[in-house]
Amino acid sequence: EVQLVESGGGLVQPGGSLRLSCAVSGFTFSSYWMHWVRQAPGKGLVWVSRINSDGGTTNYADSVKGRFTISRDNAKNTLYLQMNSLRAEDTAVYYCARGQGFAFWGQGTLVTVSS
Amino acid sequence: QAVVTQEPSLTVSPGGTVTLTCGSSTGDVTSGHYPYWFQQKPGQAPKTLIYDTSNKHSWTPARFSGSLLGGKAALTLSGAQPEDEADYYCFLFYSTASASVFGGGTTLTVL
């Protein structure tokens, strides 16, 4: 059974940092691009970032470029999102998803940026 | 960054047909944008219905189909069911920017 389980969300002050993790099982993690997608409360989906199968290529939405870093550890079957200089507008549920068809999504982890 | 546009809301009668569209601020949507369509119901993670314009996953009901129509990506629902009431998002890849963008979503009501 394929599972993607996000963790690391929580309450953080503006300007702070958080690292999200996405633990994957049930498929060959090292063969797939992976994505982070977020959704602010009551709003639509927003693509955040993606990373290729070996971690050598990363891309970001303009809104997070220079503040967020996507990475992966294929030995640990885990995807990461390091989020720095957080702003109130980064408040959202963050989902990880498997690329190449987006067949599988996690259930999301909530990040709240507030003082 | 490009803007992807969708109808904010649509209504379809049970058993009826409706087409949702997805346009791009940069021009025509083509197969090179690898259009995706996602369905999201309240409190749930998104579910992928269509990828690469018209490909379906094993769980995609046959009543959903994807296409390119008049310079836009399109999702057609033929024979709407009450359970199809949901938010639908399209998603496009922009190779020149190496970035992807979601549309604002369409709230589909089956009434």
CB contact under 8 A, B51 and A47: no
Q: Which of B55, B89, B98 sits opposite A45 (nearest CB)?
A: B89
pLDDT for A84: 98
Interval B39-59 mean pLDDT? 96
Q: In which residue are the tokens 């999200």 written?
A: A20
Angstrom distance (rounded) from CA B82 to CA B108: 10
Contacts of A98 in chain B (CB under 8 A): none
Say how far residue A37 (Cα) sits from the centre of its chain.
Answer: 6
CB contact under 8 A, B100 and A44: no
Q: Which of B55, B98, B105 sits opposite A44 (nearest CB)?
A: B105
pLDDT for B1: 84
Amino acid at B43: G
In percent, how much of chain A has pLDDT > 90? Answer: 98
- Tens of pLDDT, residue by residue over B9-33, are 999 999 999 999 999 999 999 999 9
Angstrom distance (rounded) from CA B1 to CA A14: 25
- B67, B56 Cβ separation under 8 angstroms: no
- B92, B1 Cβ separation under 8 angstroms: no
pLDDT for A40: 98
- Tens of pLDDT, residue by residue over B89-106, are 999 999 888 899 999 999
Angstrom distance (rounded) from CA B77 to CA A70: 36
